[in-house]
Structure 1
Amino acid sequence: MPARPWRGSRGLTCAPAKPVTDTARLLACAAALACLTANQARAQVAGSISLATNELFRGETVTGDAPAISAGLSLDGPGGFFAGASATVTSGDGDLRVAAVTQYIGYAVRAGDVSVEAGVIHRSYARIVDRDYRRGFFEGYLGASRKGVKLRVYVSPDYLRDGQATYYAEVNARLLQLSKWSLDGHAGLSLIPYDKSGPGGLHKYRDWRLQVSRPAGRLYLSAGVAATNYPVYDASGKARVFASASFAF
């Protein structure tokens, strides 16, 4: 049995759904993007709005299996600089609330057909089912991509309340392309330290996703299935079918 997520009275306690307190950070990030755009003529700003049957993060639901709407803003600056922010709203449990907020900043370089990137992400979630984990945390990452395959490695210094670093690695790949249809796969591995008073070492959790997508006019439609054995955002561990429609502008 995992030592950290299931420890009697400290685990299996789902915090009540409350608005994410970091919404102000999203607004500040959006304002910063606007200022950067105004000051850099070659910068490109893009936005997106998505409607999903379920909002998932690394195989688990962050909206309590309820539908969600997400909005995002991104900036690609000259020289490889990029930044962005997004927010997800759900009406799960009959209460309209912000379920997730994300801000990121990074830098990417290309050498031939290989792209390398590094960045920092701040994530906030309204619900986590284990008190040892923070709802808001930072992750630094390094990534590389080539011909439809993307690898990323993340390190978080403050995901755990006891201050131990956690790790996550993922690979995303285009498995099949047929006309406008595409099949993409994802595999992820979380490495979470045991309690400081425990045996030491890292506990391993896995997640996966298969997703079919295609453009339809100005919409991008997706459907798939995802699962994980990491019981921190949701305790069920079941596989989830999802579908989404996104509009970019």
Structure 2
Amino acid sequence: MPARWSGGPRGLTFPRARRVAEAGLAFAGLMALAVPAHAQVAGSISLSSSEMFRGESISSADPALSASISLDSGSGLFAGASATLALNIKEPRVSAAVQYVGFAQRHGSLSYEVGVIHRSYARITDRDYRRGFFEGFVGLGVGGARARVYVSPDYLVDGRTSFYAEINAPLLRHEKWQLDGHAGLSLIPHELGARSRALRHYQDWRLTVSRPVGPLFLSLGINATNYPVYSDTGRGRVFASAAYAF
């Protein structure tokens, strides 16, 4: 079994949180200057019972407040950034920050994309993995379904390449209600010194029911993984969220 941290939850310190926020604002500002004046800018604010990522909580099961901004140039270039604040009563903390940039094109019902993402997470329970890492990705979409393959050169502390593939698709729609599904597959090298050179594989999944209510978008879901990295357990967890887009 991979080694685990014996310590408790760790959060970003306030100076570090400020640096993360400043970096995110600088990133958004640079992208705003880089895209044409007719670019579309969108944002959202969401409150969730627990912030989820690939089948597990990245907010230590605490409620979370997230804010995001995205830019679409209209010519295919897109970029964005987000930050999540874990609302622990004793110690609110920045639990996640994400920045991305990419290029996408659509031909009829078919779309494709390529890009790079940088992710930073405050808490990690498996010391074989980094809290901050890059992922390159390619994606293909058909209708409402989308598949992506990610490759990371630094997700593992030892620098070996890891892979992740996912499919997200609407499963059912009825009036304003929608059921969405997600399936993910992680491909991770064996531990150093292991005889096998084959990739270990782990799964995560998610089901979400959602609908708009006035200006809000409400969601209720359940997800799980068989290989938790950011939490103590990957067992099935129910979560709820309310989002406001602008």
Q: Does the C-alpha gap of structure 1 residues 16 and 211 become closer, same or farther in structure 2, counting only changes over 3 Å?
A: closer
Question: Which of 134, 149, 155 is the equivalent residue of 2:151?
Answer: 155
Q: Normalising by structure 2, what TM-score?
A: 0.93
CA displacement 1:150-187 (0-9 Å, x = unmatched) = 10000000000101000000011100010000000000
For the aligned residue pairs, the C-alpha RMSD in angstroms reads 1.5
Partner of 1:66: 62
Q: Aligned to 2:206, what secondary structure does the other structure show?
A: strand
Partner of 1:26: 24
Partner of 2:234: 237
**Is contact 1:12-1:235 (8 Å) kept?**
no
Question: Which of 169, 172, 194 is the equivalent residue of 2:168?
Answer: 172
Per the TM alignment, residue 79 of structure 1 is displaced from its structure 2 partner at its CA by 1.0
| Distance in 1 (alpha carbons) for counterparts of 2:119 and 2:6 | 21
**Is contact 2:222-2:236 (8 Å) kept?**
yes
Per the TM alignment, residue 14 of structure 1 is displaced from its structure 2 partner at its CA by 4.3
CA displacement 1:65-87 (0-9 Å, x = unmatched) = 11000000100003110000000
Per the TM alignment, residue 108 of structure 1 is displaced from its structure 2 partner at its CA by 0.3
Amino acid at match of 2:30: A
Partner of 1:248: 245
Identity of aligned residues (%): 55
**Is contact 1:209-1:226 (8 Å) kept?**
yes
Matches within 5 A, 1:1-249: 3=1, 5=2, 10-14=3-7, 16-19=9-12, 21=16, 23=20, 24-36=22-34, 40-92=36-88, 94-199=90-195, 200-249=197-246
Q: Does the C-alpha gap of structure 1 residues 228 and 210 become closer, same or farther in structure 2, counting only changes over 3 Å?
A: same
Gaps of 5+ in 1: none
